């Protein structure tokens, strides 16, 4: 009789557990630390596209808005707050029709051009090399210049390098720079040799690109150069392999890849009026970044086991249909969905810090997954900005290895993706930060962090969340989505227990 009762009780207990999710256990290890999360993973991208540069970053010196040499002061301050490490310019596809000499010297003498890449409108070239490099200098950010490899020439690229990097008086180009108001060089380190050469940058074959790249790379060689070759924008892993096989490592410091979280390039959907099914599809595309980086890295490891060549993700983010009310090409609003894309993607980059050394969110202002939107004199910070601000604590911090045991999945039909994304780091002051994202649209997740050898007397946290996935900041309510103090956890010696709400981002600080 007793055996029967015990059996019934055991069966009842088992059935009570059946169908219940187990808590996710995350062990954070302070031992075996070997990689640093480069601050350059948190870079940005500003292309001459829509209202990204003109009527975005740059409004001119006669504008009623407070500016520094025509660049909005409020944008400068917002970017400084992010500790923006680098800024890529002038494109993008625009770079492949851009001739830098058209945009230097007195502004009344600069050549007006047609922006053939994005809408065919007229630009007066009032924002050029000096304006961009001075902006980067004021931000304390490294400039990342994209060379015109399609309609330009090797000579044009070499002249640009000499103009911005060589010491005063070394050639007629540095004399010209001085005449244009800049005596000392800017010492630009990062140079992209082409852009999307498989597409808008010339629709080249990889073999043709490799041969052309070598010409540019040799002509632009120097101790101050970080030359970035064009890698694939889709999972064309043969392109990556040919680059690694055919380009000597001494001629290449990085390979760029592009990946956007797009449901369907023919019907990209609305940035605000989206269903949960569309949200799931977008997040599945965002999670593909993990596979994309892993497979490219595996190929690079075969030819470069010492990881001398970096993987540069210099375009990433969400891409939807242009919002007409934004009054500009590729303008789109920014919701909690975009915050989820940012949180997951940045965790992926952090966790691949051994190979990923730079990334550039597309784009900075008024274009695609922008961190800042403007309307006349008004400016607002998007949910994506807030994720970047929360995650800046990882910049140049030591990556802490994690082991995650989880059955937390997010499903639609017969498809499923991980619901949780985590990364952790320890900064030079000994402070540990853990960033976690729950992308599930309706379910909270129970998570236990085991801190192992980490010692901390205090634990605090910040959360970004909202009531609806479609919530956003607009000019009537610019602070609707903003980080808040998070109290939904329990901390005891060596462990943190929490319930992370649906579609939210949490960053812990342990010190």
Question: Dihedral, CA atoms, 357, 244, 95, 117, nearest 10 degrees?
Answer: -110
User: Where are the chain's structural domains?
Assistant: 21-32+400-510, 39-395
Q: Which CATH superfamily, name and number, covers 21-32+400-510?
A: Golgi alpha-mannosidase II (2.60.40.1180)
Q: What are the residue numbers of the active site?
A: 196, 315
DSSP code per residue over 126-182: -S-HHHHHHHHHHHT-EEEEEE--SSS-HHHHHHHHHHHHSPTTSSHHHHHHHHTT-
On whether the CB atoms of residues 144 and 364 are closer than 8 A, the answer is: no
CA pair distance 503, 448, nearest whole angstrom? 18
Tens-digit pLDDT string for the chain (511 aa): 444 333 333 433 333 334 456 899 999 988 889 999 999 999 999 999 999 999 999 999 999 999 999 999 999 999 999 999 999 999 999 999 999 999 999 999 999 999 999 999 999 999 999 999 999 999 999 999 999 999 999 999 999 999 999 999 999 999 999 999 999 999 999 999 999 999 999 999 999 999 999 999 999 998 889 999 999 998 999 999 999 999 999 999 999 999 999 999 999 999 999 999 999 999 999 999 999 999 999 999 999 999 999 999 999 999 999 998 888 899 999 999 999 999 999 999 999 999 999 999 999 999 999 999 999 999 999 999 999 999 999 999 999 999 999 999 999 999 999 999 999 999 999 999 999 999 999 999 999 999 877 777 899 999 999 999 999 999 999 999 999 999 999 998 789 999 999 999 999 999 9
Domain 39-395 of CATH type 3.20.20.80:
yes
On whether the CB atoms of residues 371 and 341 are closer than 8 A, the answer is: no
CA pair distance 420, 500, nearest whole angstrom? 10
- pTM for this model (two decimals): 0.94
* Distant-in-sequence, close-in-space partners of 283: CB < 8 Å, separation ≥ 6: 261, 337, 340, 341, 344, 410, 417, 439
On whether the CB atoms of residues 362 and 259 are closer than 8 A, the answer is: no
113-114 and 122-123 strand pairing: antiparallel
Residues in the chain: 511
């Amino acid at each position: 009789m007793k055996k029967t009762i015990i059996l019934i009780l055991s069966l009842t207990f088992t059935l009570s557990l059946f169908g219940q999710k187990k808590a996710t256990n995350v062990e954070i290890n302070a031992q075996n630390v070997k990689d640093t999360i480069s601050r350059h993973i948190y870079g940005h991208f500003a292309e001459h596209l829509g209202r990204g540069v003109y009527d975005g970053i740059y409004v001119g010196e006669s504008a009623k808005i407070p500016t520094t040499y025509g660049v909005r002061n409020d944008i400068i301050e917002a970017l400084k707050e992010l500790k923006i490490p680098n800024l890529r310019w002038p494109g993008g596809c625009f770079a492949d029709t851009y001739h830098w000499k058209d945009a230097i010297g007195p502004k009344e003498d600069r050549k007006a051009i047609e922006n053939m890449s994005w809408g065919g409108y007229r630009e007066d070239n009032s924002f050029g090399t000096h304006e961009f490099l001075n902006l980067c200098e004021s931000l304390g950010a490294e400039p990342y210049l994209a060379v015109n490899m399609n309609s330009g020439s090797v000579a044009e690229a070499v002249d640009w390098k000499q103009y911005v990097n060589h010491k005063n008086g070394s050639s007629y180009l540095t004399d010209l720079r001085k005449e244009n108001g800049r005596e000392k060089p800017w010492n630009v380190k990062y140079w992209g040799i082409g852009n999307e050469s498989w597409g808008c940058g010339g629709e080249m074959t990889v073999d043709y690109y490799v041969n052309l790249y070598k010409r540019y790379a040799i002509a632009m060689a120097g101790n101050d150069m970080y030359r970035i070759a064009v890698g694939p924008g889709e999972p064309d892993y043969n392109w990556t392999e040919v680059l690694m096989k055919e380009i000597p490592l001494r001629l290449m410091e990085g390979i760029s890849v592009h990946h956007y979280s797009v449901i369907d390039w023919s019907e990209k959907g609305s940035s605000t009026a989206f269903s949960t099914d569309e949200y799931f599809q977008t997040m599945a595309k965002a999670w593909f970044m993990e596979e994309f980086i892993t497979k490219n890295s595996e190929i690079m490891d075969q030819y470069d086991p010492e990881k001398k060549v970096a993987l540069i993700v210099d375009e990433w983010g969400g891409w939807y249909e242009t919002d007409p009310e934004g009054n500009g090409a590729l303008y789109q609003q920014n919701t909690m969905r975009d915050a989820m894309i940012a949180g997951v993607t940045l965790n992926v980059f952090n966790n691949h810090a051994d190979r990923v050394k730079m990334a550039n969110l597309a784009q900075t202002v008024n274009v695609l997954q922008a961190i800042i939107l403007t309307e006349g004199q008004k400016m607002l910070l998007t949910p994506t900005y807030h994720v970047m601000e929360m995650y800046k604590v990882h910049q140049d911090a030591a990556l802490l290895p994690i082991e995650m045991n989880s059955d937390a999945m997010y499903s639609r039909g017969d498809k499923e993706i991980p619901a949780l994304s985590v990364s952790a780091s320890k900064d030079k002051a000994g402070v540990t930060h853990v960033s976690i994202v729950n992308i599930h649209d309706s379910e909270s997740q129970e998570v236990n962090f085991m801190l192992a050898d980490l010692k901390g007397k205090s634990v605090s946290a910040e959360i970004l969340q909202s009531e609806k996935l479609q919530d956003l900041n607009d000019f009537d309510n610019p602070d609707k989505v903003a980080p808040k103090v998070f109290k939904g956890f329990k901390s005891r010696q060596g462990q943190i227990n929490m319930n992370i709400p649906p579609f939210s981002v949490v960053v812990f600080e342990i010190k």
